[in-house]
Structure 1
Amino acid sequence: MGIQDIIEGKRQWRAHMTRVKALPPDYQIVYKEIQRYVFKVGPVDLLDGPLLSGILDFFEEGVAAGKGVLELIGDDVATFCDDLIKDSRTYADIHQESISRKPGTAEK
């Protein structure tokens, strides 16, 4: 990864966060909770995938339709997030695999 890639990544992230800040306050709060959750639990391909931008698109459509954020995702943010990443390999999966291997065996 070169310096240009880093600069472009930061530019894209700032543009993404500008879109988040344009959301109504309740949407912003829920988005930040989702972001915190997925950064912690983390699908392995989070940075390469469209997860966060897809959520943002979904929220922008909800705002345009005049819906409240909880109408879109339900009352439980964690359950919503778990449903989003249920088919993704997470860092928690990798950790669980590493502790369940027999001692002295190498990872493939």
Structure 2
Amino acid sequence: MKNKNVINYFKQVHADKVEYNKQMARLKELPSDYQVVYKEVQKFLWEFTAGDGMDMLPPMLELLDFFEEGAANNIPVLQLVGEDVGSFAENTLHEMQAKTRINELKRKMNERIAKKISKE
């Protein structure tokens, strides 16, 4: 059973890597200013991910779709996301359904509190 779990894990890691590489190939097709903003938002979002970060792939794919649509409509990237890219990134983080480090930190904090209070 343990070997099967390890094999499945590595299969998933490989599939995630293939998907990520496909996303990065699509990104390279966008105008350079779009690439810069996407990579900065991506870097910001990955600061908050839990685990290996691969749970971020679906939301990052949605973001890439959004950027591709904006580029296809000739919308300047800062008009698409706003001049405050940091706020855009933060709002994107809050809208994401991916498991984030923040969620993990909050869960652990709540567990510690519950444990300490129940001992009193």
TM tier, smaller: 0.7 to 0.9
* Unaligned ranges ≥5, structure 2: 1-7
Select the structure that is richer in helix: 2
Inter-partner Cα distance in structure 1 for 2:101 and 2:9 = 25
How far is the alpha carbon of 1:50 from its aligned partner? 2.2
Flag the 1:46–1:82 CA change in 2: closer, same or farther, 3 A: farther
Identity %, equivalent residues: 30
Where does residue 3 of structure 2 map in the other structure?
none
8 Å CA contact 1:43, 1:85 repeated in 2? no
1:25 to 11, 20, 32: 32
Inter-partner Cα distance in structure 2 for 1:13 and 1:3 = 15
Structure 1 runs (4+) deviating above 4 angstroms are 43-46
Give TM-score scaled by structure 1 length: 0.77
* Unaligned ranges ≥5, structure 1: none
Give TM-score scaled by structure 2 length: 0.71
8 Å CA contact 2:20, 2:57 repeated in 1? no
Q: What is the root-mean-square deviation in Å for CA atoms of aligned residues?
A: 2.7
Inter-partner Cα distance in structure 2 for 1:10 and 1:57 = 18
Q: Which amino acid aligns with 1:37?
A: F
Inter-partner Cα distance in structure 2 for 1:83 and 1:76 = 11
How far is the alpha carbon of 1:83 from its aligned partner? 1.4
1:13 to 11, 20, 40: 20
